[in-house]
Structures are given as structure tokens and as C-alpha cells.
Amino acid sequence: MSSRVVYVSGGANGIGKAIVKSFLENGDTVIFSDIHVEKGKQLEELLKNAGYDVCFYHCDISKVADIQMLFQFIENHYGRLNIVVNNAGLSSFKSIWEVTEEDWNQIIATNLSSVFFTSREAAKLMKKDGGSIVNIASTRAFMSEENTEAYSASKGGIFSITHALAMTFSEHHITVNSISPGWIETENYESLRKEDHVQHPSKRVGLPEDIARACLFLTDSKNNFINGENIMIDGGMTKKMIYLS
């Protein structure tokens, strides 16, 4: 069994929750953070009762001071760090005419700035033995619907900062990659319509576990030749040419 130390942001819900479970099932020690305290504590208790080595830490990743305190905690309690998954993000869509400066800054701070500051703090602990960072971007970094400017900008930034970090951290043997999920249903998969599934070339809507498996793959040390890369996991939708008939 593996004994890697893993940190996952936004681990109490959805994709993040699946990522946390996948690393634990792989035999890793996992620290996960979330802004939602009750959900985080409930998940931590559930997983500990199942025998997993897991720790929940309450953190607002839009605040640099919170990130710094989190990594001080990790250093003090674990002494090392092997893997980071920057998963947490704020999904908020509003008419372009209604977006305030506060709205814009909050999404950029939560979704993008957090990736930079988290990765930098993580690298301080990874310098000695190397490690792996995975950033969760989105297909919205490459294609858009109306009134998604702040969110799309943040995810496009994650795509770009991923290859920049990969170059900067290469001397420390730290790989940095990103994953761009498409439609991943995190709440009520059974309620989806047939047409929701069949429009995808893969003939189904995605599940959080689809992303979690990719995180395990990218953080396997045998796969360290994959570096600075973005993997699109969307059932083929971004490759599908669509014209109205």
C-alpha cells in the first residue's frame, strides 16, 4: 500500500469528495479542506470510521493567510507532502451587466489565485523529494456560453498557470498538470434525461469518479513524463462539430 501524503482542496462535495475517496482507497493519507465546515466534519467522521487516514481542515482558499496556515498545519503534523489537487472553485454565472468588482475578484481569488498560492506553498514541502500537482480547470477554458466571463477567465488562467508552474517547478522534480472536466453530474445522476447522455460521443454524462481516476493516473510517479499537460474529460463533447440542422 502507498503511504503518500495528499492534499485536496474543496474535498467535502462533488468531484473533490470523489478525489478524496479515491486516494484513500489507494492507501494514501489525505488532508482535505473546504469552506463548508459541517459537510467537511461529517465526511471526515464517516471516512475515519471506515478506517481511513484522513483529516479535514477548514480553509477559505480565497485568502492567502488561510492557505499559509493550512500548509503550516500540514508541515507540523505530517512533515511532508507528495500530492496536491487544486479542486475547489466557485461556480457563479451572472449577466455581464450585473457583475460587480466584488463578484469578479471573488471568483478570480477563489478559482485562480488560490491555485498559484497553494501550489507555491506546496512546492516548499515538495522540494526535497519531488511531487505532483493537479489543477482542476474546465472545458469552459476553451468554449463558452453567454454570461460566464469571470468563471471562464479563471479556468483559462488555470490552464495557463499549469504549464508555467510545470516549468518553474521542474528543477524540484514536481510535475504539474490540469484536468478540464465537461459535464460532471455530482448530485442526481438518475434524474438525467436520455438526451443528456446520448448527445455525448461517449453516450453518457460524466461522474465525479471519472475525474478522480485521472487524478490517480497523473500523480502516479511512473507517469511523470506527463508534465504541463491538460487532459480534457468531457465524453468527447469538445471534439464534436455541431451545426443546427
Catalytic residues: 151
Kindly list the distances between the CA atom of residue 56 and the CA atoms of 59, 110, 134, in Å, as whole numbers in the listed order. Answer: 9, 19, 19
- DSSP letter, residue 200: S
Answer whether 126's CB lies under 8 Å from 175's CB: no
For helices 149-168 and 101-108, give the axis angle rounded to 10 degrees: 30
Q: What is the DSSP string of 4-49?
A: -EEEEESTTSHHHHHHHHHHHHTT-EEEEEES-HHHHHHHHHHHHH
- Angstrom distance (rounded) from CA 23 to CA 215: 9
Sign of dihedral through CA atoms 89, 71, 116, 102? positive
- The amino acid present at 10, given as its one-letter code, is G
**Which residue's entry shows cell 487524478?**
215
- Report H helices in the chain: 14-25, 37-49, 64-78, 101-108, 114-126, 149-168, 194-198, 208-218
If residue 54 lies in a helix (H) or strand (E), which one and from where to where?
A: strand 54-58
- Angstrom distance (rounded) from CA 20 to CA 13: 10
